[in-house]
Amino acid sequence: MTDLQILNERNGIASGLKPGEVSTGTTIMSIPYDGGVIVCADSRTSTGTYVANRVSDKLVQISDQIYVCRSGSAADTQTLTDYVNYFLNQWSLDTGRQPTVKVAAHLMRRLIYSNKDRMMAGVIVAGWDPVDGGSVYTVTLGGSCLKLPFATGGSGSIFVAGLLDSEFRTGMTKDEARTLAKKACSHAMARDGSSGGVIRTVAIDADGVDRDYTGGSELPFGPCPTW
């Protein structure tokens, strides 16, 4: 292992990234509630050990009621979400229907799997549709696609796995799910060097989307000292 790879791993950055490549080494998650889902992310974007952007938006709307949480290479994930957004818009125009979360997730899976040797991207696809209601899919770096009760990703996810296993339950209200997502993300930001900044959440259900913003000085776990 090279000195650069060792340094990157110590800072929570995937060793496959090229020197200087912008990374969303991050904390992302999606938690369903009764009637919809919450997507949540921090906002730190780094280039190696340098914080390139402390308020970036890692929650990308790819359809009216479907969002993607991005982690990995910022350039790769931005390109992927642009492609999927375009394909889903074309699909809607051709069929006259809104795409399901499952369709969006498997389209993302196909793109990531087909280019797994040329990109570094792991995403969560979540949202609401009339077929399945609220649903959550995770697409891993290698292109595996899994439907999960809830999902976490990024370098900060390991710090909150036990917390979410303990406190997640089915049938939560929107406010309960949003509060849990903020609490977990805040814990990760306090411990993971590649996570920080502010917390953004989006609630997605049959009524549409509801965005929420929590500043760095208002985090549930206390202010992030290096936000």
Question: Which of the residues are catalytic?
Answer: 26
Integer Cα distance of 27 and 195 in angstroms = 6
Contacts of 127 (CB under 8 A, 6+ apart): 37, 63, 65, 66, 67, 101, 104, 134, 135, 204
Integer Cα distance of 145 and 2 in angstroms = 31
Q: Please state, in angstroms and as integers, the Cα–Cα distance from residue 214 to each residue in 30, 33, 82, 227, following that order.
A: 16, 20, 26, 12
